Amino acid sequence: MAFGEPRHLEKRRIVLTGASRGIGRESALRLAKAGAKILAVSRDADALARLAFDSEGYVGQIFPHSCDVTKADEVEALKEVAEKRLEGVDALINNAGSGVFKDIESLSVDEFNATVSVCLIAPFMLTRALCPLLESAKGDVLNISSISAVSGFPGASAYCAAKAGLEGLSRALVEELRPKGIRLTILRPGACATDMWKSIPGEFDFEAMIPPDLVAEAIEFLLSQSHRAWTESMVVLPPKGTV
């Protein structure tokens, strides 16, 4: 492949967290259909098994791996699994996310910390652990952020803080990883029609939100880009507004 040409996803080795539902599930299926080999990571082993079953017959392959990405020992073990099952890592997609949505007086410190652990500390640990493999492959890191990183929402203080922190971490790592040949991109979707919204108090127009498969489309595009173009951030918004 000549320098500057689009990169095909066939046989690309990808670690994808939060793979059991929503954006992660749609992305795993889309990338596997394009020929990628994916280590699909989630705490939900049953959902991962269904994901692997649903990808049967695709050009690529999905390897389910049950893991709690907030635990340092399990992240280190994940690195060994990636080396064994994928024989290297061309891309890490930090997609796992969760949040506790309560007003500040009702939100406990443990609930705040739990949100930050999934949305911020886990991407830090995963990127650190997989950095040598990504450097060998001159690979990509995609950090899936949220419109909540730049817009405040009542009852979402923990989630907004965690996603804003993820973008701060990402901006530093863009520069730190660049000399290693690792391209890091922040992907910031607007409101996306996922199950997480069902845990948030209030009524929402799901028809006005971005469907998860369109975020998966953006992920495929970013991973297919030539390394002559380093897209450091991308925002995907619904056509009806900026939520």
Which residues are paired to 17 by β-bridges?
41
Whole-Å CA distances, 175 to 170, 171, 231: 9, 7, 13
> Quick one: tokens of 34?
């394009």
Residues 76 and 128 sit within 8 Å (Cβ to Cβ): no
Residues 146 and 159 sit within 8 Å (Cβ to Cβ): yes
Q: Where are the alpha helices (DSSP H) in the chain?
A: 22-33, 45-54, 72-85, 109-116, 122-137, 157-177, 212-224
Does the reported pTM lie above 0.95? no
Q: Which of 24, 51, 159, 173 is catalytic?
A: 159
What pLDDT does residue 240 have? 66
Whole-Å CA distances, 184 to 69, 178, 218: 19, 8, 14
Query: For the stretch 8-46, what's the b/e string if a residue is b when 16 or more beta carbons lie within 10 angstroms of its beta carbon?
Result: ebeebbbbbbbbbbbbbbbbbbbbbebebbbbbbbbeee
Residues 219 and 16 sit within 8 Å (Cβ to Cβ): no
pLDDT one digit per residue (tens) for the chain, 243 residues: 444 444 689 999 999 999 999 999 999 999 999 999 999 999 999 999 999 999 999 999 999 999 999 999 999 999 999 999 999 999 999 999 999 999 999 999 999 999 999 999 999 999 999 999 999 999 999 999 999 999 988 899 999 999 999 999 999 999 999 999 999 999 999 877 677 766 676 667 767 788 889 999 999 999 999 988 889 999 988 876 545
How many CB atoms sit inside 10 A of residue 78's CB?
23
Please report how the helices 109-116 and 157-177 are oriented relative to each other, as an axis angle in degrees rounded to 10.
30
Residues 174 and 184 sit within 8 Å (Cβ to Cβ): yes
Query: For the stretch 169-199, what's the b/e string if a residue is b when 16 or more beta carbons lie within 10 angstroms of its beta carbon?
Result: bbeebbeebeeeebbbbbbbbbbbbbebeee
What SS3 class is residue 238? coil
> Quick one: tokens of 25?
């599930």
CA dist 236 and 19 (Å) reads: 20
DSSP character string of 91-154: EEEE---------TTT--HHHHHHHHIIIIIHHHHHHHHHHHHHHHHT-EEEEE--GGGTS--T
58 is catalytic: no
